[in-house]
């Protein structure tokens, strides 16, 4: 179990470092982050966020229930593709990122 939590935390750090996406950062609940520039650069803050995120994600994983919210009209097809990609990833077959990309391109 700890190995999974560590992988989820690693994914969080990757999202933060590569895409500036920090869903566990303190904020307004609508995507706005309420951290100062100094706090955003603090590796301990990122570690706390990653740990919190990983534990929450692990709980969702164990329950087989992931809260996503609702779609809007302009992005609802993309949401279908993302959900179906997630189902493929949870189906027991090892899909490489390139295989999922090819599937997404064929659908689009």
Same domain, 61 and 93: no
Q: 50: Cβ–Cβ under 8 A, 6 or more apart, which residues?
A: 9, 10, 12, 13, 16, 24
> Do 57 and 97 have their domain in common?
no
- Higher-pLDDT residue of 34, 100: 34
What average pLDDT is seen over the chain?
89
84's tokens? 């179906």
| Residue 103: partners with Cβ closer than 8 Å, 6 or more residues away | 85, 88
108 and 96 in a single domain? The answer is yes
Residues 77 and 54 in one domain: no
Residues 43 and 4 grouped into a single domain = yes
Domain that holds residue 108: 71-108
Q: Which of 10, 9, 89, 86 is nearest to 54 (CA)?
A: 9
pLDDT of 15-64, one tens digit each?
999 999 999 999 988 878 999 999 999 999 999 999 999 999 999 999 99
Q: Are residues 62 and 16 in the same domain?
A: yes
60 and 37: one domain? yes
User: Per-residue pLDDT averaged across 55-83, rounded?
Assistant: 91
Q: Using N-to-C axis directions, what is the helix angle for 2-19 and 43-63, rounded to 10°?
A: 130
pLDDT confidence of residue 45: 97
**Count: domains in the chain:** 2
């Amino acid at each position: 179990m700890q190995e999974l939590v560590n992988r989820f935390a690693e994914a969080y750090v990757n999202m933060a470092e590569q895409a500036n996406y920090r869903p566990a950062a303190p904020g307004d609940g609508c995507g706005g982050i309420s951290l100062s520039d100094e706090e955003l650069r603090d590796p301990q803050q990122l570690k706390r966020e990653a740990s919190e995120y990983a534990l929450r994600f692990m709980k969702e994983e164990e329950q087989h229930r992931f809260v996503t919210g609702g779609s809007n009209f302009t992005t609802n097809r993309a949401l279908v593709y993302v959900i179906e990609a997630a189902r493929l990833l949870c189906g027991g077959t090892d899909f490489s990122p390139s295989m999922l990309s090819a599937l997404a391109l064929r659908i689009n």
